[in-house]
Amino acid sequence: MSIMNDTKYNYMSLESLAIELSLPKTYLRQLIEKRAIPALDVNGRLRFNPAAVQRALDNLAKQGDGADE
């Protein structure tokens, strides 16, 4: 049995993610640099699972993100 059958994979670009989440790309880049949100490097291009990013953002919102530090 393949894991692909059990899990929905939906990866998107930074630009698409920013639009989907209504957040500035610059803010998302700060979080990427801090490794506060998960990103996948595919041949030098970042791709994101929006559900995983949303979970990470929800966790940051609970504790304060510190992105301005």
Distance CA(36)–CA(24), nearest Å, equals: 15
Within 10 A of 18 (CB to CB), how many other CB atoms are there?
A: 18
Q: Domain spans of the chain?
A: 9-62
pLDDT tens-digit readout, 31-54: 999 999 999 999 999 999 999 999
Q: Return the CATH architecture of domain 9-62.
A: Orthogonal Bundle (1.10)
Residue 2 has pLDDT above 50, yes or no: no
pLDDT digits (tens, 9 = 90+) for 17-34: 999 999 999 999 999 999
Looking at residue 1, what is its pLDDT? 39
* Averaged pLDDT score across all residues of the chain: 85
Tell me the C-alpha distance between 15 and 21, whole Å: 10
pLDDT bucket at 7, cuts 50 / 70 / 90:
low
pLDDT of res. 8 = 63
Q: What is the 3-state secondary structure (H, E, C) of 2-37?
A: CHHHHCCCCCECHHHHHHHHCCCHHHHHHHHHCCCC
pLDDT at 31: 96
